[in-house]
Amino acid sequence: MDVLSNLKYAEGSRKKRKRVGRGEGSGHGGQATRGMNGQKSRSGSKRRAWFEGGQMPLQRRVPKFGFTSIFKEYYQLVNLNSLQRLANEKKLNKDINIEELKNLGLITSTKKPVKVLAKGEFNTKINIEVNAISQSAKEKIESAGGSVKLI
């Protein structure tokens, strides 16, 4: 009868740990499962993951080019068709600013600048206040009777 005090693991369910380099009698003495001579048979042998055996490594073979300007401004983009979709769902106010765009879920941050682009049709009268706007988007908003103010 199995009681907590005399439980045993099932036969063959647990393997013994391989003890290498502990004499010939263990079956893993001698070269201790490391194969023949060479760098990987020695103790302390390590190679960096990107080491290519002395061959010119990839990061040095591939030429460098270009640079990243630290002054470039990355705009959050809002298309007019997404504004029109919200207007059709009656979720759009007459006056729109960056905080309003964040609340509507069209942008992720109020700290980064916002630019409005003219993708899609637009026929809702709104007053919008953003950092930048494309010329065609400005024309579409103004032709619909709205106004644009740049921050």
Fold of 76-150: Ribosomal Protein L15; Chain: K; domain 2 (3.100.10)
> At residue 61, what are phi and psi to the nearest 5 degrees?
-75, -35
Number of other residues whose CB lies within 10 A of the CB of residue 19: 12
- Regarding pTM above 0.75, the answer is no
Domain boundaries, the chain: 76-150
Question: Rounded CA gap, 107 and 128, in Å?
Answer: 14
Per-residue pLDDT tens listing for the chain (151 residues): 678 998 999 999 999 999 999 999 999 999 999 999 998 899 898 989 999 989 999 999 999 999 999 999 999 999 999 999 999 998 888 899 999 999 999 999 999 999 999 999 999 999 999 999 999 999 999 999 999 999 9
- Whether residue 111 contacts residue 75, with contact meaning beta carbons closer than 8 Å, is answered with no
Number of other residues whose CB lies within 10 A of the CB of residue 83: 23
